[in-house]
Amino acid sequence: NAGVTQTPKFRVLKTGQSMTLLCAQDMNHEYMYWYRQDPGMGLRLIHYSVGEGTTAKGEVPDGYNVSRLKKQNFLLGLESAAPSQTSVYFCASRRGQVKEAFFGQGTRLTVV
């Protein structure tokens, strides 16, 4: 039982490049989330999903797209990376409305 796994753990991108971050959970959770963590700003919600095939915008969605084609996977895409997207990205999943979220290990992304 791996929990929530994020791939990759580290990445350096050049401005304008694209990439996809993968989040996989093996707990059959309905809800999944993508956050970015920047110094002094806590965890800010980028996009989230309440079930397979559904996505919704969070607090800071601009510049990102997501897809949830399978219940266990939640993909975060950057179409044209910008230095402002340098951050640590966390994925989380949760079972039901009342349950706590479980987090992945984080992905440290640097855009140069």
Q: Which residues bind other proteins (CB under 8 A)?
A: 31, 33, 35, 40-45, 48, 50, 56, 58-59, 88, 90, 92, 94, 97-103, 105-106
Distance of alpha carbon 71 from its chain centroid, rounded? 14
For other proteins, give the closer residue by CB, 69 or 98: 98
Asked if omega into 8 is within 30° of 0 (cis), the reply is yes
Q: Are strands 65-67 and 73-78 parallel, antiparallel or unpaired?
A: antiparallel
3-state DSSP assignment of residue 87:
strand
CB of 100 to other proteins, least distance (A): 5
Least distance (Å) from other proteins to the CB of residue 42? 4
How many Cβ atoms are within 10 Å of 2's Cβ, its own excluded?
9
Which residue lies nearer to other proteins by CB, 2 or 98?
Answer: 98
Minimum CB separation of residue 47 from other proteins in Å reads 10
Nearer to other proteins (CB atom), residue 41 or residue 82: 41
Strands 19-25 and 10-13: unpaired
